[in-house]
Structure 1
Amino acid sequence: MKTSYIIGLVVVAIIVIAGAYYYTTTLSPQPQQFKVAAIYISPLEEPWNQALHQSLLKAKNELGIVYNYSENVGDSTVAMVMTQYVSAGFKMIFPHSWSYHPVTNATAAQYRSVFFAQGSGMNMNYGNNTVLYDYHIQEAAYVAGAIAAKITNTSKIGIVTAFPGVGDVDNLLNGFIAGAKSVNPNVTIVISYIYDWYAPSKAKEAAAGLIESGVDVIYSERYGVFEACKDSNGKIIAYAFGNIVDQNNASDAVIGSVVWDTYPMVKELIQRAQNGTFIPGDYIASMSKGTSKFVWNPVNAAKFPEAKAYSDTLVQKIINGSVVVPLNFGPPSP
């Protein structure tokens, strides 16, 4: 009788403990993952978008964030998309287009508990929750320009880009031109505008026109140039530079890439937002921070050893400050 009574007490105790454990594990508040969203104005495969997208995927794996994105979002609908993300509990939003900046200004002012990282723009109202970042990689573009002047056989270099009068793009073009002129002040540089942000067929056509005119090295500021750099037999008729992301695997006609590594920035912004040390204002990329890089295509590094050695020395001079490549948002003067 006494034994049965003791067994009964044990069973009851087990049930109570199990119940308490169930209550604790299912009903106690659980830590929420930090939710980050990016909004892209064009297809995700555009290099400008890939530069951020790949870094946010890396942050998802390494920092444990939730990452969602929307692509092909026009200026007329971006405010609605931002608000939807805020309503869904997202704590940081990357509106990744110059044309979004007026909407980011207005939306960030409405939701001060949400952090906004605006990709390119002007006249920002930073408040306590907004940063402006951009691909200020004119240092890497300068290195590319110097290499172009070193390897050209015609002393005629080309640039394929989107629109005239876009300051952050002009900053890259000015860097490239300055780098080329530092090696050969008399080099000819021709700029071809395609009047589109992402139109590979237009970029290819523009590159073909440059090559026909005698250009033998092209800065592919817009994607699509590489397809024009070989003839119908696969022979290289012009070399090119990738832009924003590492495009060296695209073709052996790619000398190297002017790379914008956004991960150091993404990591810092997310961690500062999480720990309460977020600093509003401008985030400037640079070689010394590791966010601006020139990455050689190994195939062509071996083919042009003199240019490779020259560029390596130039990079070190930029990092240590003995060569300064300033921001220059004015119209390029080839």
Structure 2
Amino acid sequence: MTTRRHILIGASALSLTAALPALADGHGPIKVAGIYTVPVEQQWVSRIHIAAEAAAARGDIEYEFTENVANTDYPRVMREYAESGVDMIVGEIFGVEREAREVAGEYPDTAFLMGSSFKEDMGPANLAVFDNYIQDAAYLSGIIAGSMTETGNIGMVGGFPIPEVNRLMHAFMAGVREMREDATFQVSFIGSWFDPPKAKETAFAMIENGADIMYAERFGVSDAAQERGVLAIGNVIDTQADYPETVVASAIWHFEPTMDAAIAAVKAGEFTAADYGRYSFMDRGGSSLAPLGTFEGKVPQEALDLVAEREAAIKAGEFSVEINDSEPTSGS
């Protein structure tokens, strides 16, 4: 069942035609609609939602959203929002790429900012793409994991083997190997973006097979780690407070730079097909390593020193984490 919620903050809603002069000189809020295939509490979508709420609180946008939209229903919801006169639609079209691009082409006066595995030149001029390129933070979290594992056996549970998941797993694995060259990895995908019970069961199996640190790309993995007394590394959001004895570190995605850049482009009348993925890089403020919280003083200093060194080099443009979108497999 789809759920639509409204957050209207700022000046009164304007018709798209009436809004155009205001948008051109950067004044007044724009109308933004979010379309999400999962609940806004899900970690990946939550980062988009939080950034939109922050922009609404500032008065830059008026924001409403619909969650739990099935892929088969996604084009219809896109059309409904476009017909209602919103200025920008943000969402994720990984499972409905072709249909979503066709809809965007039908509404050239609406800006579409969509999470996608493909590039901007594969769609209409008003559809820009983004993805969570937080490989920098994932790599740093891997360094910490590599320093904390006792067995060198790491479990990794993902949703689907698509580029935005694959690149983070590869970056994490590269970080682990900085501290533990002989590390081995158990890799599995559950075929869902939101199925905590299945992720938990998959993690249990990996722990039974010797994993002493779990890479929690999906909800449910940290629960399994907590119940079995092993450690976990978080992804996209910081869950350390929820798992204080389990989650050592997390790679955090900050969608605010992406959202703010798109809002500015719409207001200036300059929104075009572009790849906004670069705004997720650490040197743009799009990702970070979460505070260690209860694990302060428990991570080896050698790892912390390397993390600090590499983080500074990444932000200075002197070190690049490889972007590897190929599907990772179990093994060394």
Q: Which bracket does the TM-score occupy, shorter chain normalised?
A: 0.7 to 0.9
1:296 and 2:288 aligned: no
Alignment deviations for residues 36-71 of structure 1 (CA, whole Å, 9 cap, x no partner): 011111122211110101111111001331111111
Question: Please, what TM-score do these two structures have when normalized by structure 2?
Answer: 0.85
Indicate if the aligned counterparts of 2:147 and 2:299 stay in contact, CA closer than 8 A: no
Report SS of the residue matched to 2:312: helix
Q: Who wins on radius of gyration, i.e. which is larger?
A: 1
Report SS of the residue matched to 1:332: coil
Report SS of the residue matched to 1:77: helix
Return the match for 1:247 from 233, 239, 255: 239
Gapped regions of structure 1 (runs ≥ 5)? 1-28
- Amino acid in structure 2 at the alignment position of 1:295: A
Return the match for 2:141 from 125, 139, 144: 144
Paired residue for 1:212? 208
- Amino acid in structure 1 at the alignment position of 2:248: I
Paired residue for 2:112? 116
Q: CA deviation at 1:99?
A: 1.4
1:274 and 2:267 aligned: yes
Return the match for 2:252 from 240, 249, 259: 259
Indicate if the aligned counterparts of 1:230 and 1:238 stay in contact, CA closer than 8 A: yes
Two-structure CA RMSD over aligned residues (Å): 1.9
Distance 1:102 1:293 in 2: 32
Distance 1:115 1:158 in 2: 40
Q: Quick one: higher RCO (CA 8 Å, sep 6+), 1 or 2?
A: 2
Gapped regions of structure 2 (runs ≥ 5)? 1-17, 23-27
Alignment deviations for residues 293-330 of structure 1 (CA, whole Å, 9 cap, x no partner): 11133211332151333322221122223321122111
Distance 1:210 1:297 in 2: 24
Report SS of the residue matched to 1:145: helix
Q: CA deviation at 1:126?
A: 4.4
Distance 2:96 2:267 in 1: 24
Paired residue for 1:4? none
Distance 1:56 1:281 in 2: 19
Q: Percent of pairs identical after alignment?
A: 31
Distance 1:66 1:93 in 2: 12
Question: Please, what TM-score do these two structures have when normalized by structure 1?
Answer: 0.84
Q: CA deviation at 1:210?
A: 1.6
Alignment deviations for residues 98-156 of structure 1 (CA, whole Å, 9 cap, x no partner): 11322221122111111000112325434432210001111111111111111111111
Distance 1:322 1:72 in 2: 41
Alignment deviations for residues 214-268 of structure 1 (CA, whole Å, 9 cap, x no partner): 211111011111212234xxxx721111111222222111112111100111011
Report SS of the residue matched to 1:98: coil
